[in-house]
Amino acid sequence: MDYLRVLGQFLDRPGFPWKKLIITFQVAQYVFEGFLSFRQYKILQQTRPPKTLEGEVDQETFDKSQAYGRAKARFGSISGIYSQIQNFGTIYYDLLPRLWDLTGTWLFRYGPYGFIGEITHTLIFFFTYNLITTIINLPVAYYSIFVLEEKFGFNKSTVRLWITDLLKGQALGIALGTPLLSAFLAIVQKTGNSFFYYLFLFGISVQLFAITIYPIAILPLFNKLSPLKEGDLKTGVEALAKRLEFPLKELFVIDGSKRSAHSNAYFYGLPWKKHIVIYDTLIEKSETEEVVAVLSHELGHWSLSHTTKLFGITQFHMFYIFALFSVFINNRSLYQSFGFHKEFPIIIGFILFSEALAPMDMVIKLLMNVLSRKFEFEADEFAVKLGYSTQLAKSLIKLQIQNLSTMDADWMYASYHFSHPILPERLGALGWSGKQKNADPKAMFGEKSDPVATGREL
């Protein structure tokens, strides 16, 4: 595409202050998100629940939910500052070129003959960088699990299990990252200026491979999947799947309680063979009809083609990312601004390009959350039409209480951060008010306000 080449030449200006520009982006994003967090923190200081929840949530639970939200907000603020210090230090002190040179020295001294090239160098650099950042962030991860989550009764993990998961994650990253990153680099090296077409096709192949291999080889490394036992729940879910012509292959229960007390349910798989996974915590704390109602919402996403639409959007986004990367890959002024004057590694170009793209990513995040909230309301409406209005409302309330999820939200904060509507919005759409159910589904969804949102997965 000639216009991409022309754009690349236009942006490659000697002496252009890319470093200052990217630091400005990062600071501006941090200030903006801090402003949103301040607005949300004021909501978390409220002492009374929203009117929709007054008859559903007792004062003690609401106070605990607010305290949990404030604790997470304070932790997020501190961890955000910690992350900004890391980013600023990495950029200001040219740590990327220093690490690239250091790993190059290691490769030259200790690398086997025939493996001294950009791909091998990149693999050593990437995994070293990943290991360093993992170690640096260990205190933050530890506090999140063993202090914050522990304080509010959600953590079920142990230090030993946490360390085991970290080691498994690092090993898995090397095992899968080596061939994937090598292929990524090889495609860029061998396919010329049109490499983004081939990267796009490669990305689709990787996604399909991941959908197939994840539940078979990766998930069992961290969690145990067990077939759902015979009983009313299995019968109800199978009947729902049959009613919707959902291509259900297997029903699993996952031992989510091994690490956390939070609950969830989801499905995965190829278009002709799907698997449903239910958290053991959801089964333990909900009635059978409520679990089926939750799954009617999830299968609503499938029936309404939400998953297909999101997959299509993801592919478009991936193509546009790779196409724009072709504009920056040969941008010498970008490399030089960050201390790369002699070598111009592909992986470094991609990292710097990602930083430069941050403002656009913010806009895309906002738009995707708007779309996601729209889909959530539509999936709720789908469950209502199946006759699960009351059961879904009850289940949402139970999950809200069990997970101490956000019960109210500042509209601006929610619009930017949340992919799911907050509970009062969903109950309002369901026609639920003080344990009363609106009997007319059309009235329930006749008029809808703009979705707000919460960070829950359901």
Q: How far apart are CA 98 and CA 104, in angstroms?
A: 10
Question: If you ran DSSP here, which 8-state letter would residue 53 be given?
Answer: G
For the chain, what is the radius of gyration of the CA atoms? 24
Q: How far apart are CA 444 and CA 142, in angstroms?
A: 44
Q: How far apart are CA 95 and CA 207, in angstroms?
A: 32
Burial of 272 per CB tally in 10 Å (0-12, 13-18, 19+): exposed
Instruction: Tally helices (H) and strands (E) across the chain.
Output: 20, 6
Catalytic residue flag (residue 410): no
Q: Which position among 118, 149, 290, 298 bears the catalytic label? A: 298
Q: What are the backbone angles phi and psi of residue 84, rounded to the nearest 5°?
A: -65, -40
| Host H or E run for residue 284 | helix 280-285
Q: What are the backbone angles phi and psi of residue 308, rounded to the nearest 5°?
A: -65, -40
Catalytic residue flag (residue 33): no
Q: What would the two tokens of residue 401 be?
A: 């209480």
Cα 38 to its chain centre, rounded Å, is 23
Q: Which residues contact 29 (CB under 8 A, 6 or more apart)?
A: 358, 359, 362
Q: What would the two tokens of residue 435 be?
A: 């344990």
Q: What would the two tokens of residue 34 be?
A: 């801090």
Q: Which position among 380, 381, 408, 425 bears the catalytic label? A: 380
For the annotated catalytic residues, the residue numbers are 298, 380
